[in-house]
Structure 1
Amino acid sequence: MSSLHDRLADLAEDGPDRPQPRDAWERGRRYGRRRRLQAAALSLVLLTAVGSLLGALLPALSYDVGPADAEAALRLPDRLYTPSPWLPGTDDVGEIGPLVALVGAERKTWSGSGAGVAGVSAEGDYAFLDLPGLGGALGRDQGASIALSDDGRLVAYPLTGRPEGEPTFVGVAVYDTVTGEVTSQRIPTEHGISFGGFAWAGARLWMQYGQLEQAADEEPSSSWGSEYHVYSWDLDDGIRRASGRLANRMPDVSASSGLVTWQGRRLWVFDREGASVLRDLRLDLASDAPPALNPSGTRVAVLEDPDGDPTLSDGRPYLLRAGVVPEGENVRVATARVGDRTADELWGWRDDWHVLVRDLGAHALFSVDVNTGAREPMLTLPDATESPGTVLAEDALAAPRFDAPEPPHPMDPRLRLGLIVLVVLLGGGRLVIWWRRERV
């Protein structure tokens, strides 16, 4: 059994190897520095992760479009896309210049969704058009027409108001895609206006409208229009009512031939002002779809009903016919089938020999040579559109084609914000747990 003296001797011998107070203090400081470095590294990793997520989720904030160039030449895209409902508008990105096309599409905001109109520029850029006075009226059944001028610079649309507390059309407005300027004209009305269509002839806008018989409400079919007439509007002047054959028949517009109106087998060509008849053409068949006159006025395309009765439809596409227009003011026009070619709609002419037709099954426009019947795909249309559908600038029909880029698809900002908040909360919670663990 060791004595007290022995134990004190053993303790004295082990003394130099035991931690001294100064050594313990240094080790504590080194441990603290190491813990702070670990915390800083963890924070840096979390911040880097959040930053990477932000960079991936916020691409729409830097969405750029080409400048609005008044002299930009139109080009025909090889396809049109249904834009993302979260695509930016012109209030955000500015004017995008002369437009190749207008595409009706769903547009969403933080508070809801509705029908919008996206413009497609000559460069293939997309942006929703923030048209003052249009509001959410495109979804209502009161003639939600919209028209694009031949050169793609001017957009005509119905102006919305509340004559009796309910939103309805009360006028017409024109938006300049280069300057952003809007020219509007209100129409005297008690209950509102129902439009039958818009069409451009140069800088003159043609329209058809009638007065609503009663106030529009949430059920558009409960109101109707009467006394539909055709009017023209020179933007430097007021709206004027048309007369003669144009008084009650909305004209179609042919790029260089003037105004064209049609009824049964008769086709009348007016000057651009609609003042006088230039030609009176008598076709060899009647059609329930408007014929199309080529740019030089030397050929006409018409759709023949396959069952022979244009008053009935069995769902089959029309047979495509074309004919040469003889010289003279009052002439008969003989047409012949263009091979076995069919079409659901006529969309105009690409040049004097190639007519553009729509194939609803293929969601596309095709160019058909009326001499040989050769068919070539021209433009794939959007899979789905909202009112007023797809509208093409007349000058784009004859323009060179290009491979159109797909517009960006921004993420829903509500989902984007939710993911950011979730990452921040998870990262912050992880830091709190780590600090508490290290303090124990």
Structure 2
Amino acid sequence: MTASPGPGPTGLRELLHGLADDQPAVRVAPDTWRRGRRAHRRRVTIAAAATAAAVGVVAVGGTALVRDVTGSPDPVGSEVAPALPSDLYGVPEGFAPGRDEAGTDPWAEEVRTDTLAVGVTAAVMPVGYSGLVAVSAVDGRYRGLDLPGLWTEGLFNNEQAGAAALSPDGTRLAYAWADRARDATGDPTRALRPDRSGVRVLDLTTGEVTDHPIPSDLGVQTYGFGWSPSGRWLAYGITLVTDRSGRVSGSRNYRTERLDTTTGERTRLAFQSTESPVTVSDDGVVASLGSGGRLSADADPATDDTGRRLPLLGDGGASRLVWDADGARLATGMQSGRLIVIGTRGRIAVESSGFLEPEDRDASSEAVHVLGWSGDDRVVVGIDNVDTLHEVDVRPGSARDDVLQSRPLVTLHGEYGSYLAPSSVSLATDLLAGPTRSYDAPEWARTPVWERPAVWLAGVVGVALLVLGSSVVRRRRARL
């Protein structure tokens, strides 16, 4: 039997049309497209929200990588003898208070404290452009100081120590003080209050603040504080504000003063101050470094005697200047890397000098900063770009081939972009003669980024949010 041929193209088309005509009409709901668009927008919104939440959590975790909330409890009574820590750690700049619309936001939890009575302090160092941190001489903790009226405007981060100085016994802190004037609405202006600027001295054991205002027409700015070895006298430089915007101009607007902290009596000295800090002996003799590296000492304000002067080996660029306990010698460091000890009893003369040779580094081209005397013939110094404070033997004739002998004393650690320069550190110099004490490094300095709980938590929460968002989107698609 021969099979009948199938329908041709024309017959197949007619057959399909016939089948289509026999099917019921398809009715599409009028709001189908509207519901589809709404579902699509919902999917996009959910995905965007999940992504934003994940990014936000990761950002918060990234901030917390230097702010693990470990806290620093306020100090309590202790029988432990004060000592200088063997390591000092630069505090991350982000820990310092910033400015918000309401005024000032707080210190980070790691260094936050609700009191100025932080106890005997081994060191004070700057954080950011508006903060100072005290390092305890008893437990080694770091505590941010909310100093009322602290004036640091115009100073860079590593110069904040020029606006404050720790007393030799670590119980008091002298700092630059200035209160801004306020307008009719009560908001602060750029102008200073003439009767509310000068020097403040904070008792770190009680939290009490003593004001020493300096009369002026438009206010003053103080800097470069130097304590006498016993802590009775305080010397500092003054700049007189010359306009209502808080600026200073004119070379005649710089002064040097001496303050008796026991009586509050202030004495203006004859010689002008310089950008270098000044220092005062237990006899009340103030010394200052002038231009060209020349030394001015024994200035007598009654006779306008500018004091005795000494060219410091023709080597300008001197840094911090420090008296010894007997008021017989001055130690200063030079920008060239040389340390100089000057005898001041009788004829002023250089007793010893030389370059420093820290371990594994030739510091002959780095500036030297004297931080204090640790004994009759020993001086503690820091060197720019060297991460160790050294104790130097300054006995006459002790230098070998123009190099003074030294040993490492304290290690400086700069963390997370914060540079801990020796010139920015103020030490309790009475502690330099004793042994140092070792403490565990602060949390922000010892825990690598990838090991911090906050980072792991942020990552887990971020992944969970992404999974949740994807699941919601899949369920929405299944309903359509």
Q: TM-score range by the shorter chain?
A: 0.5 to 0.7
TM-score (norm 2): 0.58
Tell me what 1:361 maps to.
385
Tell me what 1:178 maps to.
205
Tell me what 1:83 maps to.
91
Cα 1:365–1:283 change in 2 (3 A) is same
Amino acid at match of 1:400: P
Structure 1 residue 191 corresponds to structure 2 residue 218: yes
Secondary structure at the aligned position of 1:409 is classed as helix
Tell me what 1:330 maps to.
346
Cα 1:227–1:387 change in 2 (3 A) is farther
Cα 1:403–1:386 change in 2 (3 A) is closer
Residue 185 of structure 1, CA deviation:
3.8
Tell me what 1:102 maps to.
124
Q: Deviations over 1:300-355 (max 9, x none)?
A: 5455x7xxxxxxxxx7422x455777xxx523535344487556233332111222
Residue 364 of structure 1, CA deviation:
2.7
Q: Is the 8 A contact 1:145 1:388 kept in 2?
A: no
Cα 1:260–1:397 change in 2 (3 A) is farther
- 2-structure distance, mates of 1:285, 1:76: 31
Structure 1 residue 408 corresponds to structure 2 residue 423: no
Q: Is the 8 A contact 1:103 1:119 kept in 2?
A: yes
Secondary structure at the aligned position of 2:431 is classed as helix
Secondary structure at the aligned position of 2:91 is classed as coil
Q: Deviations over 1:88-129 (max 9, x none)?
A: 3554476421111111112xxxxxxx5311111112110111
Residues 271-290 of structure 1: pairs in structure 2 closer than 5 A: 285-286=312-313, 288=316, 289=318
Structure 1 residue 210 corresponds to structure 2 residue 239: yes
Q: Is the 8 A contact 1:213 1:223 kept in 2?
A: yes
Secondary structure at the aligned position of 2:253 is classed as strand
Cα 1:425–1:354 change in 2 (3 A) is same
Equivalent of 1:391, from 426, 440, 446? 426
Q: Is the 8 A contact 1:74 1:151 kept in 2?
A: no
Equivalent of 1:162, from 177, 180, 183? 180
Cα 1:167–1:429 change in 2 (3 A) is farther
Residue 240 of structure 1, CA deviation:
2.3
Q: Is the 8 A contact 2:135 2:143 kept in 1?
A: yes
- 2-structure distance, mates of 1:268, 1:136: 28
Tell me what 1:126 maps to.
142
- 2-structure distance, mates of 1:355, 1:142: 23
Q: Is the 8 A contact 1:214 1:224 kept in 2?
A: no
Equivalent of 1:378, from 409, 429, 444? 409
Tell me what 1:228 maps to.
254
Residue 131 of structure 1, CA deviation:
0.8
Give me the CA root mean square deviation: 5.0
Residue 233 of structure 1, CA deviation:
3.8
Residue 401 of structure 1, CA deviation:
1.2
- 2-structure distance, mates of 1:386, 1:215: 33
Secondary structure at the aligned position of 2:199 is classed as strand
Cα 1:203–1:302 change in 2 (3 A) is closer
Question: What is the count of residue pairs matched by the alignment?
Answer: 357
Amino acid at match of 1:97: G
- 2-structure distance, mates of 1:178, 1:283: 40
Q: Is the 8 A contact 1:265 1:283 kept in 2?
A: yes
Residue 154 of structure 1, CA deviation:
1.2
Residues 339-354 of structure 1: pairs in structure 2 closer than 5 A: 342=364, 344-354=368-378
Cα 1:270–1:193 change in 2 (3 A) is closer
Q: Is the 8 A contact 1:118 1:128 kept in 2?
A: yes
Secondary structure at the aligned position of 1:396 is classed as helix
Residue 261 of structure 1, CA deviation:
1.3
- 2-structure distance, mates of 1:284, 1:82: 36
Q: Bigger CA drift: 66-75 or 174-183?
A: 66-75
Q: Is the 8 A contact 1:104 1:388 kept in 2?
A: no
Tell me what 1:116 maps to.
131
- 1-structure distance, mates of 2:68, 2:406: 39
Cα 1:214–1:138 change in 2 (3 A) is closer
Q: Is the 8 A contact 1:80 1:379 kept in 2?
A: yes
- 2-structure distance, mates of 1:136, 1:324: 34
Cα 1:339–1:402 change in 2 (3 A) is same
- 1-structure distance, mates of 2:382, 2:423: 17
Residue 295 of structure 1, CA deviation:
2.8
Unaligned 5+ segments in structure 2 are 1-56, 96-107, 183-188, 358-363, 399-403
Q: Is the 8 A contact 2:238 2:273 kept in 1?
A: no
Q: Is the 8 A contact 1:167 1:216 kept in 2?
A: yes
Q: Bigger CA drift: 127-136 or 420-429?
A: 420-429
Secondary structure at the aligned position of 2:375 is classed as coil
Tell me what 1:37 maps to.
none
TM-score (norm 1): 0.62
Q: Is the 8 A contact 1:282 1:331 kept in 2?
A: no
Amino acid at match of 1:397: L
- 2-structure distance, mates of 1:257, 1:186: 24
Amino acid at match of 1:148: L
Residue 392 of structure 1, CA deviation:
1.4
Equivalent of 1:148, from 151, 162, 166? 166
Unaligned 5+ segments in structure 1 are 1-49, 107-113, 306-314
Q: Deviations over 1:245-278 (max 9, x none)?
A: 5786874135x6754415666664699xx999xx
Residue 148 of structure 1, CA deviation:
1.1
- 1-structure distance, mates of 2:348, 2:437: 39
Q: Bigger CA drift: 142-151 or 176-185?
A: 142-151
- Give the share of equivalent positions with the same residue, in percent: 28
- 2-structure distance, mates of 1:284, 1:190: 36
Residue 214 of structure 1, CA deviation:
1.2
